[in-house]
Chains A and B, each alone.
Chain A
Amino acid sequence: MTYLAKPKLLRADAPKNTLGYTRRDYEGAISTLCAGCGHDSISAAVVQACFDLDIEPHKVAKLSGIGCSSKTPDYFLGASHGFNTTHGRMPSVLTGAALANRDLTYLGVSGDGDSASIGIGQFAHAMRRGVNMTYIVENNGVYGLTKGQFSATADKGSKSKRGVVNNDTPIDLVALALQLGASYVARSFSGDKEQLIPLIKGALRHRGPAFIDVISPCVTFNNHAGSTKSYDYVREHNDAVNRLDVILPRDQINTSYPPGSLRRIVQHDGSILHLRKLDTDYDPSDRVGAMNHLQERHALGEIVTGLLYVDSSAEDLHRHLNTVEKPLNLLGDAYLCPGSKALEALNASLR
């Protein structure tokens, strides 16, 4: 961690996005995580993604649970409202927030303990409910703040720093998200920002529950030989099915790809997902295929990454509830209170 405050001075030539914001406008407080923590790379990727997408910082609400990963929303998007909730309960608080104002972008940040152990119920139900959000799990397989206990995503046979072997079957949140109905499902690695940033961008522009599992090694408690969530292990076993580019409607498309190597997906807001195929057989619009692929590769010890599934026509919770277009938190008294006349009629029916 660094103890130095960030200098306020800004380079005059700092690049600005079309809204006139610099990258600095998307940063937050100084991180208090360990030096080299994968989570800080994810925070940087969030900053870059929001900058690139020209998202107004105050139009994002960032929510988290409890744990190392859940501390990170303080370290990016300082001009956004944030809510560090209770352990494992971010999904419900985010769901409520999203109900109140459908116009903000909701970013939920959680960890493997927060989402796969204490919060697996809320994780599951937020996915199946179709909450319009980007849900990032910063997955290191270990409880950091309480000093290195296994989490529910730790692989069977994985060895802790103290030499204890994990005998429990791991929970694969990507497999769960696919099964539960998430409409954008990806996995990435905190050490691969080229892959991660576009995946976050695609998720932020997706309507519906977008889930990204980011393997994020814990440098202090889970980066040793025998760990399956260490930098070395993940680099050696990373099996990327595709590479994503997110193209906004205003952007010129000037990259050319060899025929057959590209898949183009248009999202509801007009943004285009360009998927460069690395695995020619992989079809990201096939939920069942994605689940099969994941299991097959897992059996071979591979960690499948990339955009694993996307349904660009998905509907969200607001659509299901048929709520008005105007955010509920902006409806004034006149729209909410039926008034005394309605009561008179009601009273008459209760006599």
Chain B
Amino acid sequence: MSATKPIQSCNDFVIKFANVNGSGSASANELFARAIMRMGVPVAPRNIFPSNIQGMPTWYEMRVSGAGWLGRRGGCDLMVAMNPQTWDRDIAEIAPGGYLVYDSTKSLPRSRFREDITVLGIPLTEICNREYTDPRQRQLFKNIMYVGALTALLDMEFAAVEKLIADQYRGKDKLIGANVNALKLGYDHAKADLSCPIGLRVERADGVGDKIFVNGNDACGLGAVYGGATVAAWYPITPSTSVIEAFGAYCRKYRTDPDNGMARYAIVQAEDELASIGMVIGAAWNGSRAFTATSGPGISLMQEFFGLAYFAEVPVVAFDVQRGGPSTGMPTRTQQSDLISCAYASHGDTKHVLLFPEDPYECFTLGAQAFDLADRLQTPVFVLLDLDIGMNDRLCQPFDWDDQRRYDRGKVMSAGDLEAGKNFGRYLDVDGDGIPWRTIPGTHPTKGAFFSRGTTRNAYAKYSEAGTDYVYNMERLRRKFETAKKLVPAPVVKHASQPSRFGAIYYGSTSPAMAEASALLEGQGIHVDTMRVRGFPFADEVIDFINEHDHVFVVEQNESGQLRMLLINEGEVDPKRLIRVLHYDGTPITARFISGKIADTLAERKVTPIRKQVAS
């Protein structure tokens, strides 16, 4: 069939499903990913989908990695080509020696295939038309059928997939039988007609352990529930919409009063992003924990309000699930390109606290922590995730919560404090940390009321146009930002196996690709210390790390090197020492890309070791 030797690999390959969106393929593909995980083999799937509801091409790229690498690998070893629209490019993408599974109901000319791949045709439509009469069933079970065929082709345990279906449809027994039947049709056909297994195989392992499989947006919604949020206001925008949907679902589950069925939360779909952040500010000003979820264009629309929240010192939380910009940009593709627009959101001299979760587990923990930080610092806190971790299910450590933990509501004066005669100046720095005390409306009949505004005021919240009052306030806000450095989550440093003059800084969803890149580089004898930044303003350790290395690679998923800009601006680092490693085509960054860039740069530097010459 082909001269190229078919790829042989166990528990280490990439399968890609080319589908039409709206065809019900997503749940079948996800089922398949879960089935592999049930066999103890880590899987990292990614949806590559269009900004469309039905009819456009969509891909589900699944990396199977016994070693546990969850970053995108790139390339494709097995293509399940179910979309005639993208046939040619899908076929072209298969690695030499790779495999093609397709619906062979309609015969295709030889010219539409490649000589160097293994072609596995299954007449899926034909079988479906024979077995089912309902058009919707024909479509849906076609998907389950190819999952069955893959189970045979990859030498997987049929019983494991069968049990998974039973678990997923527990309580809906009719669906279990129908799905298992379709699964078996595909499985049996592959066993009978094709030579199973192929060179790619899944073998039971113990690489999954107690890990959970969940997406970052769900985890953010759950984090907001555990973080004590009671008010959410939002406007639909991809890829953040499901944060609020998850918050709503978890609230219905955990925050419905058992006695009367009433809601211990309020969710409002606002008319736009301006209104959503306005509602969040109003609720937070009035003592509720409140948040919004949005993406880049929403952040742009909220700019004026972020300035008000910063200056009036209102504790709000914003989840920004980043996508490709500028403008509408690439709404269904991933990027880390809102750092600057969030860090300095609004006019005038503003600076904001940012958190960078690496995976769904941290979306949960940092999501919950954001509410404590916002209350403690009385300022907006941004949780910056991105589409890659927000909308894709990812294996991560299970969620945990310390039941002894109590919410840190920050410096709030009670009626008792006021009654006891405590000096209340809304913008007075009594503790030297830049954080003033506040009161919640309605606290005391005669004491503690104040007027909030975005205009200059004195320490007692009285309107003022005096330069001295303005400067007092700005200097206090600067001190508050210094305090924030100590409160944001600390960076995570990993030292190479040998001392190195080179470091790499990364954040957020780049994490698994960076970890794998480090291993690849170590394999080539290249040693790079790494540091994952988890918050802004930068803790002192971040700048220390840079100072401890001659050069530091700053690995990001945007075009302009936005974290690098922040490091240069806020850390006063010599720009020449920060080398950009930038990936921004909308696909998730890969270990191959990072290690390639770093290796190439180091190779170039070895040719002309300028530093060494100067030093000697």
Contact = CB atoms under 8 A, between A and B. Distances in A.
Interface in A82-121: 82-86, 89, 91-101, 103-104, 121
Interface in B362-408: 398-403, 406-407
B265 A85 contact: no
Interface string B542-555: 00000000000000
Interface in A52-102: 56-59, 61, 63, 73-74, 78-86, 89, 91-101
A18 interface: no
Contact of B403 (A73, A83, A339): A339
B596 interface: no
A53 to B, nearest CB: 16
B264 A96 contact: no
Given A93-B278, A96-B282, A328 B463 contact: no
B12 to A, nearest CB: 22
Interface string B273-290: 011111111111111101
B449 A58 contact: yes
Contact of A58 (B254, B263, B445): B445
Nearest to B409: A333
Interface string A220-237: 000000000000000000
A92 B441 contact: no
Contacts, number: 218
A59 B442 contact: yes
Contacts of A58: 441-446, 449
B451 A125 contact: no
B453 interface: yes
Contact of B452 (A57, A83, A330): A83
A335 B228 CA distance: 9
B270 interface: yes
A323 interface: yes
B370 to A, nearest CB: 15
A328 B282 contact: no
Interface string B400-421: 1111001100000000000000
Contacts of B403: 339-340
Contacts of B231: 96, 99-100, 328
Given A329-B230, A329-B287, A336-B255, A92 B263 contact: no
A324 interface: yes
Nearest to A343: B399
Contacts of B279: 92-93, 95-96, 99
B116 interface: no
A318 B283 CA distance: 14
A106 to B, nearest CB: 10
Given A94-B282, A96-B282, A125 B271 contact: yes
Contacts of B228: 333, 336-337
A121 B271 contact: yes
Nearest to A63: B282
A121 B286 contact: no
Given A79-B449, A100-B288, A328-B231, A86 B225 contact: no
B165 interface: no
Contact of B445 (A79, A98, A101, A318): A79
A58 B274 CA distance: 28
B226 interface: yes
A162 interface: no
Given A58-B442, A82-B452, A325-B262, A331 B230 contact: yes
Interface in B250-304: 254-255, 257, 260-268, 270-272, 274-288, 290, 304
Interface in B2-52: 37
Contacts of A322: 261-263
A94 B452 CA distance: 13
A331 B264 contact: yes
A329 B399 contact: no
Contacts of A347: 210, 212, 398-399
B164 to A, nearest CB: 11
Interface in B136-184: none
A95 B436 CA distance: 26
B398 to A, nearest CB: 4
A321 interface: yes
A86 B262 contact: no
A122 B282 CA distance: 14
Interface size for chain B: under 10, 10 to 19, 20 to 34, or 35 or more residues?
A: 35 or more
Contacts of B280: 96
A328 B288 contact: yes
B305 interface: yes
A164 B105 CA distance: 76
A331 B263 CA distance: 12
Contacts of B312: 83
B308 interface: yes
Nearest to B307: A86
- Most A C-beta atoms less than 10 A away, residue of B268, B279, B455: B279
Contacts of B285: 83, 93, 96-97
Contact of A321 (B211, B263, B286, B406): B263
B233 interface: yes
B278 A84 contact: no
B326 interface: no
Contact of B275 (A89, A101, A328): A89
A346 interface: yes
B263 A61 contact: no
A97 B441 contact: yes
Contact of B283 (A73, A80, A97, A325): A97
B566 interface: no
A12 interface: no
Contacts of B272: 121
A81 B450 contact: yes
- Most A C-beta atoms less than 10 A away, residue of B266, B402, B407: B266
- Most B C-beta atoms less than 10 A away, residue of A85, A96, A330, A338: A96
B288 A99 contact: yes
B275 A92 contact: yes
Contact of B262 (A93, A323, A350): A323
Contacts of A333: 228, 406-407
A250 interface: no
Given A93-B282, A99-B268, A104 B442 contact: yes
Nearest to A92: B278
B99 interface: no
Contacts of A103: 442
A82 to B, nearest CB: 4
Contacts of A100: 230-231, 282-284, 286-288, 290
Contacts of A93: 278-279, 281-282, 285
Contacts of B254: 338, 342
Contacts of B455: 84
Nearest to B289: A336
A339 B264 contact: no
B282 A324 contact: no
A74 B463 contact: yes
B213 interface: yes
Given A58-B445, A83-B451, 17 more contacts: A58-B442, A58-B443, A61-B286, A85-B278, A89-B275, A99-B266, A99-B288, A103-B442, A122-B278, A323-B263, A329-B230, A329-B283, A333-B407, A337-B226, A337-B407, A346-B399, A350-B214
**Closest 6 pairs (CB-CB, A-B):** A96-B282, A92-B278, A96-B279, A81-B441, A100-B288, A329-B287
Interface of A: 56-59, 61, 63, 73-74, 78-86, 89, 91-101, 103-104, 121-122, 124-125, 129, 317-318, 321-325, 328-331, 333, 335-340, 342-343, 346-347, 350-351
19 contacts: A58-B443, A58-B445, A79-B446, A81-B449, A83-B285, A96-B278, A96-B290, A99-B279, A99-B283, A99-B288, A100-B290, A122-B278, A329-B230, A329-B440, A336-B225, A340-B403, A343-B400, A350-B213, A351-B210
Interface of B: 37, 210-214, 222, 225-226, 228, 230-231, 233, 254-255, 257, 260-268, 270-272, 274-288, 290, 304-305, 308, 312, 398-403, 406-407, 439-446, 449-455, 463
